[in-house]
Structure formats: C-alpha cells, structure tokens
Amino acid sequence: MSYSVVWFKRDLRVHDNEALYKALQQGPVLCLYILEPSYWRGADTSKRQIDFLKESLLDLARDLKSIRLNLTLITGEVTEVLSKLYATQPFTSVHSTQETGNLLTYKRDLLVKDWLRSMSISWFEYRQHGVIRGLKSRNSWSTQWDRLMGEQQYKIKDSDVLGTDQVFLHNLFPSERWPSVEDWLQSREACPGRQRGGRSEALQLLSSFFHERSATYVGGISSPLKATSACSRLSPYLSLGCLSMREVVQATIAMIQSGSGQSYQKRGLNNFLSRLHWHCHFIQKLETEPEIEFLNMNKGFNGLREEDWSATRFERLINAQTGWPLVDACVVMLRETGWLNFRMRAMLISVASYPLWLHWKPVGDWLATQFVDYEPGIHWSQVQMQSGTTGINTTRVYNPIKQAMDHDPHGEFVRQWLPVMQRVPDAWIFEPWKMPQMIQEKCGVIIGRDWPMPIVELASATREAKQRMHNRKSGSSVKELNSKIIEQHASRANPKQARTKKSNPSLKKSKQESGQLTLKF
C-alpha cells in the first residue's frame, strides 16, 4: 500500500496546513509527531514548554479525528523512527512544514535529508512564516512576505480523507503513550500561571483580542501590568503553529477593513499587523545564519564579556535577588507564568549585559527555558541585539529604576510579584536600599535581611559597561564587519517591487496605515 508521512513539527493544526493538504491529495497519510529526547535534553528547553506542547498535541489529535485521521505519537530520534516505520510499511514521501529552530533541529533536518535521499524518498517542505530558505538578498523579502500572506488558506474536509487505507494505517501505527519526560529535562520548574496549549485556546484569544483587547494595544504593551491583556498573547500558539501566520494576518486585515470598532482599536490592529511582519523578519536572521544561537553576530565582539563571567551575579539574577525591584518582579512573573512583555524582556537582557556584564549565551539559555513562547529565531536575534553584539544597532541600555518609574509608577506590578514590597512606602518602592534605618524598621523591611542590597552600584557599573562597549564598537574589527551584517540581515523595501501587481494591496495598505512600511534591523 502506498502512503505518505505527514511529519508535524511546528505546525500543530489542521487548518491552513499545506503539508497535510498536499499529502492528502496524493492518497493515504500517516500523521506523525516525533517526541525527540535529544531536543528536550537541550539547555533551552523546559517542563513548561513540553507541557504546553502536550496540550497542543491533544488538541491537534481531536481536530484530526474530526476528519477521520489519527495522530501517531512516537518517542525517539527522527531518522531512527522513520527507518522503523519504513521497515514495517514503506512510504513514498514525507511532507512537513519548514522549521527554523535551534541548531540541534537544523542538524537533525540535515540528517533526515541525507537518510531520505539514501532511500530515494521524496521530502516536500512548505513555507509558513514568510521565511525563505537559501535567501541570497533581502531586497525582495518584504514583497515575498506580502505575497505568501495574501495567498488562499488551505482548508481540509473529511471528504479529502480516503477511508479504507486510513483505517489500515491507524491500526498498523497506533500512537504511543506519553512518556515520562522529566529525566530528559534540565529545567523542571513548575509554571502554575502559564497559558494552556492548543488551537482552541488560541482561537479564543484571537477573538477576544480582535473584539476587546486590541483597543489597549497601543500604549498598553510596554506596561508590565497592562501588557498581560493588551498584548495578543498569541506568541506561544504561533511558535508551535497552532495558528498559521497567514490566517492571523488575513483575519487582522479583515478586522481592520470591516469598519467595526473605534479608531484606537483600528490603530492597535495596524500596529499588531506590523509586529507579525516583524516576527518573520527576525526568524529570517536565524534561518540565514544558524550560528547566531552560539556565536556573536559581529565577531569583533569576541572576548568582550566571555572572560568576565560571574556565577554569583548570574545566580542572583535568575533567583530574583538583584536588589532592583522591577528586575526581580519580572523574574518572578516569568518564573510563575512563562511570559513577559517585550519591553521587560529587553530590560532583563540589558541589565544582564551591562551593569551585570554577563555574556548573552548563558543568559539567553536561561530565558529560553522560562519562555513558554520560546521562538528561537526571534529569541537569539533579540538577545544579541539587546546585548549589543550585532555591531550596527544603537546601544540599548535600560535603567531598571527609570523603567519602573515610567511603566509602573505606583509600584503595582512590583508589589504584585514581590509581596515583601507591599510593606515598603511609595517613596522608596523602586530604591528600597535608600530607606533610612528608622523607616526600614517601621515597615519591617530591613535591607540585607528582608531585601538584598543591589548586586552592583547601578550608575557606575552601567557607565563602565557602556564605555567598554563603546571602545569595542568603535574599533576597526567591529566596523569592518558591519557592512556585511547589514547586507545579510537588515530589512529594506524596494519601492518598485512594492508596487507590483503580485503584492497584496490589503497588506500594503495596512502597513502604510500603521506608519511602518518596513522594519529596521
């Protein structure tokens, strides 16, 4: 019997899944998810992520069942699993969605490619994020993104499924039970407040964002308090492909063009649309240069921080003991919920990179384990940008005291996540170490006992770090590589291409309305 394997990776959905749709056109399919121990033993994975994955797979299995398909879960390394399947019942092709994951999944895909070629089995991969394999130039990237997002969505009906042969495959390849995964994981922390996985959860969030929460998107996404509702909160579902990027883009445009809602809601949706473009733009960087997960994007920064690693500073950071209330509140929220808004993520990396002078790689691995929505392409590009090792960006140094005053002026966020701060008067909430001894005793928060002194003196440590960064950045070794980095990774639009008939006018119109036709590096 001839059949195809649909290998689900970061595309855990039935709707608008080109790999599943195209495979069904060829005949019977085996819907397969492979749980890879080697991946989950990595330094950037965690229990919260695999729990979210499990819920998303259960939702996918239910959706597949609605069109008379089963999801087969198998634990093992991919080439070994495919080899065993082939030995049991040979298949003619593999269909999957392109994945821009970490370096481990990149190397795994190379092994899969070699094995399939050796067996003369065709492998069909399909785009979903606007990311382009083997991209030589960024000049037409934006136009191609518009084109992909404007294409028709793939809709699968149960009539597309051939019954008799499918029943045979379902019986031949039953799903394994979910294994005990705790032994694989380096990060096993519980995350009681995390989002639940699955497409059904994602669709509810999308609806509430369109009809209610988008009204506070502009102005709300920078506040650690307001962002929990003002942001779309769709990032973990886009990361695992519970929603397709195309369906979210098209639904957003349809909502904008419907005329419903207030002007500030429309403005929020336009800004959200530009963020969807931004999402793919950054993933393209890792697709183009997978090494940025491990190596400085600009090699002129090699040796800048590596030799000054401080385990003490790192431990205090990850245990919410820096002494800066906003920083420690963010770490606690991230630990408890698996999510943090973009500005606070950037602030954490900035604090780690400048006053604490920590190398970005271990910090990035730790943050990756904390994020339920860990998206390698966005994560490693942003970690390098915020730590200053791209070479061509303005040095971004976030002062945690100023950020608290700007975005949590009454200390509500700090007090929510740091109960001890509820006893500290407003005047000292962001700099409790400055409280006079008499006030410390009165409120029952003694610095050095109930609250730590800051790990370093912020102003002088930041000043020294900025000077060290400036000295390296202005050197010839960094400058010489900047033009290559701009050519390889920077976003730019070709006005002539933007006017071609192939461009989607709705996408172009929406990006113009948002005031952001293209995204900077």
Q: Model confidence over 451-493: pLDDT tens digits?
A: 999 999 999 999 999 999 999 999 988 888 888 888 888 766 5
CATH class of domain segment(s) 199-288+494-513: mainly alpha
pTM: 0.93
Note the pLDDT of residue 492. 62
Structural contact between residues 326 and 430, judged by C-beta atoms closer than 8 angstroms: yes
Candidates 402, 396, 420, 421; CA nearest to 411 is 421
DSSP state letters, 295-333 = S-SSGGGTTSSGGG--HHHHHHHHTT-SS-HHHHHHHHH
User: Max alpha carbon distance in the chain (Å)?
Assistant: 83
Helix, strand and coil in the chain, % to nearest 5: 55, 5, 40
Distances (CA, A) of 93 to 73, 90, 111, 177, 243: 19, 9, 16, 26, 25
DSSP three-state, residue 430: coil
- pLDDT, tens digit, for every residue of 371-417? 999 999 999 999 999 999 998 878 889 999 999 999 999 999 999 99
Structure tokens at 394: 């303005």
Placement of tokens 């969605």 in the chain: 97
Fold of 293-486: DNA Cyclobutane Dipyrimidine Photolyase, subunit A; domain 3 (1.10.579)
Note the pLDDT of residue 489. 84
Placement of tokens 């604490």 in the chain: 356
End-to-end CA distance of the chain: 50
Residue type, 395: T
Fold of 4-126: Rossmann fold (3.40.50)
Per-residue confidence in pLDDT tens, the chain, 521 aa = 899 999 999 999 999 999 999 999 999 999 999 999 999 999 999 999 999 999 999 999 999 999 999 999 999 999 999 999 999 999 999 999 999 999 999 999 999 999 999 999 999 999 999 899 998 888 889 999 999 999 999 999 888 887 778 999 999 999 999 999 999 999 999 999 999 999 999 999 999 999 999 999 999 999 999 999 999 999 999 999 999 999 999 999 999 999 776 788 999 999 999 999 999 999 999 999 999 999 999 999 999 999 999 999 999 999 999 999 999 999 999 999 999 999 999 999 999 999 999 999 999 999 999 999 999 999 999 999 999 999 887 888 999 999 999 999 999 999 999 999 999 999 999 999 999 999 999 999 999 999 999 999 999 999 999 999 999 999 988 888 888 888 888 766 543 333 333 444 445 544 443 333 333 43
Give the residue extent of every domain in the chain.
Answer: 4-126, 199-288+494-513, 293-486
Note the pLDDT of residue 507. 54
DSSP state letters, 13-50 = -STT-HHHHHHHHHS-EEEEEEE-HHHHTSTT--HHHH
